[in-house]
Amino acid sequence: MSNNSVIPSNRIKQALKSGQSVVGTMIAEIRQPSVVQLLANAGFDFVIIDNEHGAFNIETIADLARMAVYVGVTPFVRVPDLAYPYIAQSLDAGAQGIMAPRISTAQQVREVVEMMKYPPLGRRGSALSRGYTRFKGGPVVETMARVNEETMLIVQVETRGAIDNIEEIVAVPGVDVTLIGPNDLSIALDVPDQQDHPDMRAAIQKMIAACQRQGVYPAIHINDLKLAAHWARQGMRLVSSGAEIGLLVRGGLEVTKTIGEAMGRSA
């Protein structure tokens, strides 16, 4: 394909193919696009724009995603539902990947792939000169093929069904990443908030092994940094932790605690 394609390269996909592992975080609340520049300055490789639990509309998603691509951070959008408008609009706006929540079966994944990919791989409708093309036109067939190649699908593994059906899920063509959501998964496995429980460890190891057999990249989003580091050592290729709001509070607490102690303030 042409080197001057209107489709920007997916930096995360390139990094993973070259054997690197990558670090990310979520954007859950702050709408100002400059937050993505700040996260880039902090060294993050990717961001997950949380449209499942975050309060974002499509205009905000577009602003955040385009800024992310501009500053060299790969933007993914976690959609609120496995529905065509959420998936297609996010991609048209500039997202370079979709995170699909609450997956339980391979059939759900196949349906998401169909909504994400252009023909002949799927049924996504084509419209050039949009955010994902940097508002440029181009040859339709070549552009569709390039988008199919660059766009990533992250399947969130957070249900008992996803663990039970993990072999079938990772075998679906078009799945790039499966990502453990430990909070919901712990609830589904009847060990709520026990993210280091033996049942959780067994489920996560099962997913990693299935990914390794199929050439899919295993991932996790977890707030506990010690557990994040543990799973990075166990083979997770994408590790995400926290969100911009937690990072802001954590940094602020360090300032107020340090200065407050010097002032003699009690905790």
Note the residue count of the chain. 267
Contact 10, 151 (CB under 8 A): yes
Please choose, from the candidates 37, 59, 36, 32, the residue with its C-alpha nearest in 3D space to the C-alpha of residue 48.
Answer: 36
Burial (0-12, 13-18, 19+ Cβ within 10 Å), 99: buried
Q: Whole-angstrom Cα distance, residue 23 to residue 100?
A: 19
Q: What are phi and psi of 117, to 5 degrees?
A: -100, 145
Q: Whole-angstrom Cα distance, residue 153 to residue 176?
A: 5
- Residue 215's SS3 state is coil
Q: Is 53 assigned a catalytic role?
A: yes
Q: Whole-angstrom Cα distance, residue 157 to residue 170?
A: 11
Token pair of 255 as six digits: 């300032």
Positions marked active-site: 53
